[in-house]
Structure 1
Amino acid sequence: MSRIPPQKAPLFGGPGWTAILLAGQRPGVDPLAEAFGETWKAQVRIAGEAMLSRVAKTLLGTPGIDRIVVLAQEPEALFTGDCAWLADEPKVTTARSTSGIAASVAALAGSAATPFPVLLTTADHPLLTPAMVEAAMAGLGDADVGVGMVAASTLLAAYPDNKRTWLRFRGEAWTGANLFALGTPKAKLALEAWSAVERDRKKALKLLWHFGPLLAIRAATRTITLAGALAQASKRLGFRAVPIALPFAEAGIDIDKPSDHALAEAILMTREAS
């Protein structure tokens, strides 16, 4: 892991949280970056500022976050333009991603420079607020892993036309919030499982099938809740995972396509105007 700049090393090893900020992208040309004339998705500007810069400022402004590791294929290449200030921020370091997100995070989490507890989020989440981050950290409790989720009833009440990937369980459908709380070394077991299912993360039934046919059938027939499904899957793998139901509709909106960008920009402009 490289530190930027070396003369301003972060104060690692404190009692607070480490935030790993995912700022890489999949191989090939990213459609959103291309649409906005950028090489890197994280540098796409929204409401006048690059997404990576916005998310980093949110994390730094959240009580309890002591350090940030920006994880990307070429993290130093991102620290230009709006994001140039990150190179001089003593609480920020960088790490290069490897063959996959989960494997890259597993290589960092729990190290001397990236101690537990760890909060994982993404650069394409410019609507993130300190309140959302604090809720995700508090929601972990004594579990090994917490998964930030937003209920369909919460998100669609505020943004009825928004298109998300929904995981449907008994009583409610859910979408991810790109917020994960990793509390203990057992979280590495979750990262191993994530690595195995990473390519199916947006295909609900295929994802659940990795944890056994019975669980997949119960989810398909909506005879199990999200909390029940996470409890069963994680117990089978040797750790305890809990869903963290976030009461913020915007927590479920990340930026994958121009329509997401337009919605998020309108939300940010309204926020900043008020």
Structure 2
Amino acid sequence: MPKDNRAPAACQPLLPAIVLAGSRPGVDPLAQAAGVATKALVPVAGRPMIDHVARALLAHPAIGEVVVMAQRAESLADHPQTAWLRAEPRIRFVDSGSGISQSLLDWMAGEDARLPALVTTADNVLLDGAILDAFLAGAQGADVAAAMVERAVLVRAYPQSRRTWLKFRGGAWSGANLFWLGSERAANALRKWREIEQDRKKGWKIVSAFGPLLLLGAGLRLLSVHRAIAAAGRRLGAGEARIVPLPVAEACIDADKPDDIALIERIIAARGTA
């Protein structure tokens, strides 16, 4: 297993990291095209997605246990290139429940859970030490946090990459698949998001969760992304909610489409880390 030579801060406990590696309902087109059972096993630069992410997390000096969460989590180690996950003492497999929010709530309620914790996804293939450093430095002290990349950061480096942008006052932002559960108050946000997940076709549920003034302010771009997430955290009872802006363009390039995978493989080849 690759090791990172940077030393963690003195007396600072290691963080658990949760990798969301489950499947959405229906057939995943990337998994189907690759002939594998689930998206987390789709090969990128010759290795399954989950292999890239797990190795990046285990190599970081701030990370302790890595929890792989999926519908049949341990089956992800049945692949020849991921069999090492089963033998790695810092890897723990946890079967997920009905939806991401409920699965994280179930984990938080378990005896082995420890906060703060990092959450990422199995398709976050370009995750590395620099991205983790930037996020962890910005998330410390928050009850809940999410990493995002501003559009100008990505466009300067990879103008061909197409992402979904959330527009706020002062910029447009894309998610970076990194989240922070800083305290028990994060459970309040997860419970509210669980309600939205269950009734996502009912627009009034979203309005009731975030409030009409907050949605209007964000929709009209009267609020910056930082003010919007801070207000949302208070509204949801989640304490201090924070956006962590990342200066690394690769942080928001996840493997959602064939074009994404082609770009990721070019980046990995340029890094020489395949």
Please tell me the residue identity of whatever aligns with 1:269: A
1:73 aligned to which of 50, 66, 71: 71
Match of 1:56 among 31, 54, 57: 54
Q: Is the 8 A contact 2:115 2:183 kept in 1?
A: yes
Partner of 1:84: 83
Shift of 1:114: 2.4
Cα separation, partners in 2 of 1:109 and 1:134, compared to 1, 3 Å: farther
- Provide closer, same or farther for how the CA distance between residues 224 and 131 of structure 1 changes in structure 2, counting only shifts above 3 A: same
Task: Tell me the secondary structure at the aligned position of residue 194 of structure 1.
Answer: helix
CA distance, structure 2, for counterparts of residue 210 and residue 197 of structure 1: 8
**Equivalent pair of 1:154/1:248 in contact (CA under 8 Å):** yes
Task: List runs of 5+ in structure 2 lacking aligned partners.
Answer: 1-11
In structure 2, the partner of 1:28 is 26
2:35 is the alignment partner of 1:37: yes
- Which residue pairs with 1:98 in the alignment? 97
1:198-237 to 2 correspondence within 5 Å?
198=197, 210-237=209-236
Distance 1:183 1:77, change over 3 A: same
Aligned counterparts of 1:24 and 1:96: Cα–Cα separation in 2: 9
One-letter code of the match for 1:250? Answer: E
| Alignment partners' CA distance in 2, 1:57 and 1:208 | 40
TM-score by length of 2: 0.89
Cα pair 2:67 2:92 within 8 Å, conserved: yes
Aligned to 1:260: 260
Query: Aligned AA for 1:240?
Result: E
d(CA) in 2 for partners of 1:98 and 1:247?
Answer: 34
After TM superposition, give the deviation of residue 200 of structure 1 in Å.
9.2
**Residue aligning to 1:142:** 141
What does residue 241 of structure 1 align with?
Answer: 241
CA–CA separation in structure 1 for the residues paired with 2:112 and 2:228: 33
Instruction: Give the gaps of 5 or more residues in structure 1.
Output: 1-13
Distance 1:55 1:182 in 2: 19
2:173 partner amino acid: W
Contact (CA 8 Å) 1:169, 1:219: kept in 2 or not? Answer: yes
Q: Contact between 1:110 and 1:116, CA under 8 Å: does it hold in 2?
A: no
**Deviation, structure 1 residue 81:** 1.6
Q: Distance in 2 between matches of 1:182 and 1:43?
A: 26
Contact 2:209 2:235 in 1 (8 A): no
When structure 1 is superposed on structure 2, of 256-265 and 104-113 the one drifting more is: 104-113
The whole-number CA distance in structure 2 between the counterparts of 1:179 and 1:219 is 22
Give distance in 1, aligned partners of 2:197 and 2:263.
27
Normalising by structure 1, we get a TM-score of 0.89
Aligned amino acid, residue 243 of structure 1: I
CA change 1:232–1:27 in 2 (3 A) is: same
**SS, match of residue 75 in structure 2:** helix
Q: Which residue number in structure 2 is paired with residue 180 of structure 1?
A: 179
- Cα contact 1:16–1:117 (8 A) shared by 2: no
Q: Residue deviations 1:197-232, cap 9 Å, x none?
A: 34799xxxx967740111111111111000100111
The residue that corresponds to 2:124 in the other structure is 125
Structure-1 separation of matches of 2:167 and 2:209: 17
**How many Å separate the matches in 1 of 2:206 and 2:46?**
37
| CA deviation map 1:95-127 (0-9, x unaligned) | 111110011011112633221111000000111
Change (3 A) 1:200 1:17: farther
- Deviation of the 1:259 alpha carbon: 0.8
**What secondary structure sits across from 1:83 in the alignment?**
coil
Match of 1:4 in 2: none
Query: Contact 2:149–2:176 (CA<8 Å) still a contact in 1?
Result: yes
Structure 1 residues 224, 262: closer, same or farther in 2, change over 3 A?
Answer: same
Aligned residues: 259
Aligned 8 A contact 2:209 2:236 in 1? no
